[in-house]
Amino acid sequence: MGSRVSLPPSEEGHIEFKSRLLSSVHLRPERRQQLVAQMKSRLIEGGGVAVYVLGVEDDGTPAGLTEVELEESVAVISSLAAECGARVRRVERASTEGGIVAKVVIERVSTSPKSHLTVGVAGHVNHGKSTLVACLVTGERDDGTKWLYMDTLPHEISRNLSADLHFTVLGFREGRPVFLRNPRDREEKARVVREAERVVSIVDTVGHEPWLRTTIRGLLGQGLDYGILVVAADDGPTYITREHLGVMFGSQLPVIVCITKVDKVGRKRLEEVREEVSRLIKRVGRVPYQVKDRSDVDVVVDKVNPVVPIVEVSSATRQGFDLLYGLLSSLPPRPKRVNGPFLMYVDRVYNVEGAGTVVSGTILQGTLRSGDALLLGPDDKGSFAEVRVRSIEVHHSKVEEAYAGQLVGVAIRGVPQGSVRRGMVLSGSETRPRAVRRFDGEFVVLNHPTRVATGYEPIFHCHTIAQSVKTFVHENGFVAPGEQGTATFSFKYRPEFVREDDVFVLREGRVKGIGRITRVLEDS
């Protein structure tokens, strides 16, 4: 609860002033029916949000509540909200001479799945990734500062370099973008989720080489439907461009290439970069296709994967943005295991006041509901703990259910924050997940100064897992660059939850190889 509360104007239609609410009075059937109808009206007036100010008279004069009266009044509001398809989002409070005055914000809960895409944006540092994303979600032109909408950590701002994944949202309604008026405002993100018919979750990754492991986490661990590779027209493809493209193609991710900063170069230079990008795409057996107008969008929209659309854009002039919106509003989501048992890899862990331990990640399969009993693990010994879901949010919009493919924040109870780490999974109890230490995999060596041999200990990336593995290469005992091989891998420090067909990346500084798990092994 906050320490201050500002009273809203009483003439606004979604505001309701109450001195107090008593369960013995206001939850009686006839009175309850009246209050539910009143609350539904307030929610309609507020576009899905209503505000109840407690401890005041009808004219807004503070009267005050005791702690017990406030707790009972909020409980009554929660009960009424449940009948309206809403729930209490937050409570702000302040002390007055007469007692406590509180503002209770309730929000309608989304109960039906929407069309949803998750898109990851990658590319070399200073090629314009964060600026592109910021201009996409706001509908604004770049004035040289729009990257600040995405880079929020102090050292990112001071160095003008992203150092962690950043998440934002773009909506579409009737094919038109629903923009964020303030991309830093959580309430704005929640509004876009409520209003949009299609929600596009955007993962802005890191372009600087020291944080390559973070970019791999963004590309492998977020359940992406599509990847956008950004290449600056003035710089062209770099070795980091090739690293990111290799991870995208190696994980079979459908890719769109955006050539940015086209306003900074002439026609000849733009043609050179376009040709260089096309050669990279052809080298891995895919088909480059330049998207010049809306008819090209219609041609490629259901062929992205064998076909790689190339869109030329400028964040300064917004050239090409209409084509990007056309693609993002029309691309089909990749198939999801909506009906399978619930599974989500933990990406981030928070301690949120009033909610406790909160984990975030992308739902890989199944459906999640408030109140569900789940298993969380594995811990260092390979065990899983029982937890229960307290609440769910999609881009700060509270929902009762979430579905495969959605980026979610999940408040859980049953374990302290300190016992939860990135790389763990939340799973349905019926799945009986099992941690493993060893597995077989097939892989291709993309880049290595000599060769990958038995005894090699790279960092293994899979979903949000990042851990050293020991390698026992089959057959000749080594695999040369450009060759494919098979090996048995064993986690060096603790067991993890992995499954057959999971894609993995082997990294030692740069990406050395990419592969697929073929068999999980029993501990010997």
For residue 366, what is the domain's CATH number? Answer: 2.40.30.10
The strand pairing partners of 487, in sequence order, are 441, 473
CA distance 166 to 202: 8
In a domain, 195, yes or no: yes
Question: Using CA atoms, how far apart are residues 359 and 221, in angstroms rounded to an integer?
Answer: 14
> 206 and 287 share a domain?
yes
Residue 85's CATH number: 3.30.110
Average pLDDT score over residue span 463-476: 94
Is the distance from CB of 77 to CB of 21 less than 8 angstroms? yes
What's the pLDDT at 201?
94
The strand pairing partners of 204, in sequence order, are 121, 166
Q: How confident is the model at residue 317, as a pLDDT? A: 96
Number of domains observed in the structure of the chain: 4
In terms of residue numbers, what domain contains 32? Answer: 15-108
Same-domain pairing of 291 and 414: no
- pLDDT, the chain, mean: 88
| pLDDT single digits (tens) 107-126 | 877 655 578 999 999 999 89
- Identify the pLDDT of residue 2: 40
pLDDT (average), residues 323-349: 89
Domain limit, last residue, from 281, 298, 330: 330
Of 139, 142, 132, the C-alpha closest to 258 is 132
What is the pairing mode between strands 226-232 and 255-260? Answer: parallel
Q: What is the DSSP string of 48-115?
A: SEEEEEESB-TTS-B--B-HHHHHHHHHHHHHHHHHTTEEEEEEEEEEETTEEEEEEEEEEPB-S--E
What's the pLDDT score for residue 370?
Answer: 85
**Does some domain include residue 33?**
yes
pLDDT at 3: 40
Residues 249 and 324 both lie in one domain:
yes
Identify whether residues 275 and 237 lie together within a single domain: yes
Tell me what percent of the residues of the chain surpass a pLDDT of 90. 59
Q: Which residue has the higher pLDDT, 196 or 337?
A: 196
Q: Pick the last residue of a domain from 284, 303, 330.
A: 330
Mean of pLDDT values over 81-97: 84
pLDDT tens-digit profile of 252-297? 999 999 999 999 999 999 999 999 999 999 998 999 999 999 999 9
The reported pLDDT for the residue numbered 154 is: 56
| Residue finishing a domain among 365, 400, 431 | 431
* Res. 212 pLDDT band, cuts 50 70 90: confident
pLDDT digits (tens, 9 = 90+) for 121-154: 999 989 999 999 999 999 999 987 766 666 455 5
The reply to whether 119 and 192 lie within a common domain is yes
Q: What is the spatial distance between Cα 133 and Cα 218, in angstroms, rounded to a whole number?
A: 15
Residue 1 reports pLDDT greater than 50: no
Verify that 244 and 366 share a domain, yes or no. Answer: no
pLDDT in tens, 426-447: 999 877 899 999 999 999 998 7
